[in-house]
Structure 1
Amino acid sequence: MAKGEKARNNGIDPTWPKVAPGEHPVSELAADRQGALSPFGDVTFPLENVPYVHPETEINK
Structure 2
Amino acid sequence: MAKENGKKAGRIDPTWPEVPEGEHPVSELAADRQGALSPYGDTTFPLEAVPYEHPETQINK
TM-score by length of 1: 0.55
Note the aligned Cα RMSD (angstroms): 2.4
2:47 & 2:8 partners in 1: Cα distance?
54
Post-superposition offset of 1:39: 2.4
Give the structure-2-normalised TM-score: 0.55
Gaps of 5+ in 2: 51-61
How many angstroms does 1:30 deviate by? Answer: 1.5
| Mapped partners of 1:14, 1:4: distance in 2 | 20
- Give unpaired runs (5+ residues) of structure 1: 51-61
Moved over 4 A (4+): none
How many residues were matched structurally?
49
Q: Which has the higher helix share?
A: 2
